[in-house]
Amino acid sequence: MYENLKAKAHELLEIFQNAADYTDTATLETILETNHFQIKVIDIEYACYLENIIFCGRKDEISYRHNLAHEIAHIYLHCTLFSLSHPPNYKNEAQAEAFAAFLLLPSPAFEEDLMNQMGDKALSDKYQAPLHLIKVRKRICRPELRRKMHNTEPDEF
Sorted by where each begins, the domain ranges of the chain are: 2-149
pLDDT at 131 over 90: yes
pLDDT of residue 143: 77
pLDDT at 80 over 90: no
Cα-to-chain-centroid distance, residue 96: 7
Distance CA 149, CA 39 (A): 42
Distance CA 148, CA 116 (A): 13
pLDDT of residue 157: 36
Nearest Cα to Cα of residue 68 among 99, 106, 43:
99
Nearest Cα to Cα of residue 56 among 78, 34, 82:
82
Contact predicate 39/132, CB 8 Å? no
Residue 81: which pLDDT band, with cuts at 50, 70 and 90?
A: very low
Q: Bigger pLDDT: 138 or 20? A: 138
pLDDT of residue 142: 83
What is the mean predicted confidence (pLDDT) over 119-138? 95
pLDDT of residue 82: 45
pLDDT at 49 over 90: no
- Type of residue numbered 109: A
What is the mean predicted confidence (pLDDT) over 2-7? 89
DSSP 3-state of 93:
helix
pLDDT at 118 over 70: yes
Question: 12-48 b/e with 16+ CB inside 10 Å = b?
Answer: bbeeebeeeeebeeebbbebbeeeebebeeeeeeebe
pLDDT of residue 152: 62
Does the model's pTM come out above 0.85?
no
Nearest Cα to Cα of residue 69 among 41, 15, 29, 42:
29
Residue 58: which pLDDT band, with cuts at 50, 70 and 90?
A: confident
Q: Bigger pLDDT: 54 or 145? A: 54
The sign of the CA dihedral 25, 30, 36, 38 is positive
